[in-house]
């Protein structure tokens, strides 16, 4: 698997950045009853692609007009394929959602959709637009062949099975290692050994997501920090446990007197595996922890739309900014400097 991942890593390329242009800032467009094609044209000029970005217009003014005009909208979705991506633009009219009048939905008779395709040219080291349907389908076929490789399937299930055992069924996992029934130092040694062995699969899984652009580069780099921090805490805990009589009962008070290495590791496990986000108040961005990397691709437990998710994430960031300011912090130097928000 190691050699396969090294080969797969060669696919890794810089992400194509989508910069937004808010159309509602233009009073002429804002006063129109409907958006026209000329209003919503994206800009992916060669000089922009050479710098690794494209500009897509958005219209997110939710005010509804009378006389059945509804509200205008323009937005986009990105589908990543690794070294290629498809940006789907939707625009037209929206109307109030009769099932939930806090939100809107595209009008049945008006939404328009079109896609724009881009790929990374490794020879020139930049993105290009792909207009040839046969070439695009051929590129997707190559990418899908890699995705469907047996090694990729094995890696995904190694991670899923571990997360299911270690976190979702953590009560049974702790019971298996005797952590809740007068555990010995050896019980904790076995527990952290199990976790330590699984971290290689966590590393490979997050790298896989980065290669296929399901993790952005800065998200991936933070997962590297998470795993590094876990490994450091595991080593500190191991050194403490090795200094004790292994068959003797674990004493939390003694752990406290000797630096709380076990307690700190258990707290870090909770911070990293309980689905949540590390919040960057300076960049106003959310970074998924190890648990949220799994959870965010599963079905939502409550009603969510792109609008509600955007609103929730904005609220999380605003709360984190206030907490950051109250603490008097001005920079994020280590993982512990990030405010953490748990999803549930």
What is the rounded CA–CA span in Å between residue 177 and residue 192? Answer: 10
DSSP code per residue over 61-129: --PPBTTTTBEEEEEEEEEE-SSEEEEEEEEEEEEE-TT-TTSEEE-TT--EEEEEEEEEETTTTEEEE
- Per-residue confidence (pLDDT) for residue 329, from 0 to 100: 81
Would you write out the chain's pLDDT as a tens digit for each of its 344 residues?
A: 667 777 777 778 888 999 999 999 999 999 988 899 999 999 999 999 999 999 999 998 888 888 777 788 999 999 998 889 999 999 998 888 888 787 778 787 777 899 999 999 999 999 999 999 999 999 999 888 888 889 899 999 999 999 999 999 999 999 999 999 999 999 999 999 999 999 999 999 999 999 888 898 899 999 999 999 999 999 999 999 999 999 999 999 999 999 999 999 999 999 999 999 999 999 999 999 999 999 988 877 766 667 777 888 888 999 888 888 888 888 888 898 898 999 87
Residue that has been written with the tokens 């009589």 in this structure: 245
Checking phi first, is residue 305 left (phi over 0); if not, alpha (psi -120 to 50) or beta?
A: beta
What confidence score (pLDDT) does residue 303 get? 61
**285-288/276-280 β-pairing:** antiparallel
pLDDT at 1: 65
Q: How many CA atoms lie within 13 A of 303 on its CB side?
A: 5
Q: What is the pTM of this model?
A: 0.81
CA distances (Å), origin 250, targets 184, 257, 264, 314: 5, 13, 15, 43
Q: Check residue 308 and give its pLDDT.
A: 77
């Amino acid at each position: 698997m190691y050699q396969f991942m090294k080969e797969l890593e060669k696919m890794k390329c810089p992400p194509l950045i989508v910069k937004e242009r808010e159309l509602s800032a233009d009073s002429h467009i804002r006063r129109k009853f409907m958006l026209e094609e000329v209003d919503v044209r994206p800009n992916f000029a060669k000089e922009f692609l050479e710098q690794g970005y494209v500009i897509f217009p958005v219209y997110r003014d939710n005010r509804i007009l009378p006389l059945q005009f509804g509200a205008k909208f323009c937005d986009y979705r990105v589908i990543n394929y690794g070294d290629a991506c498809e940006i789907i633009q939707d625009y037209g009219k929206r109307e109030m959602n009769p099932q939930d009048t806090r939100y809107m939905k595209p009008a049945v008779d008006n939404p328009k959709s079109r896609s724009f395709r881009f790929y990374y040219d490794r020879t020139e080291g930049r993105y290009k637009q792909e207009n040839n349907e046969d070439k695009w389908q051929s590129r997707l076929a190559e990418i899908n062949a890699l995705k469907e490789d047996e090694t990729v399937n094995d890696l995904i299930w190694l991670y899923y099975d571990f997360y299911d055992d270690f976190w979702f069924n953590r009560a049974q996992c702790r019971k298996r290692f005797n952590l809740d029934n007068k555990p010995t130092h050896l019980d904790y040694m076995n527990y952290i050994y199990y976790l330590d062995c699984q971290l290689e699969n966590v590393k490979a899984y997050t790298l896989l997501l980065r290669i296929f652009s399901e993790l952005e580069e800065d998200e991936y780099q933070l997962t590297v920090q998470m795993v590094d921090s876990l490994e450091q805490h595991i080593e500190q805990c191991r050194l403490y446990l090795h200094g004790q009589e292994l068959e003797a009962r674990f004493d939390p008070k003694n752990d406290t007197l000797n630096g709380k290495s076990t307690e700190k590791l258990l707290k870090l496990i909770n911070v990293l595996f309980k689905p949540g986000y590390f919040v960057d108040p300076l960049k106003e961005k959310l970074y998924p922890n190890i648990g949220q990397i799994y959870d965010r691709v599963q079905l939502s437990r409550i009603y969510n739309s792109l609008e509600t998710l955007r609103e929730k994430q904005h609220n999380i960031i605003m709360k984190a900014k206030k907490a950051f300011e109250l603490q008097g912090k001005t920079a994020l130097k280590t993982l512990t400097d990030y405010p953490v928000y748990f999803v549930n």
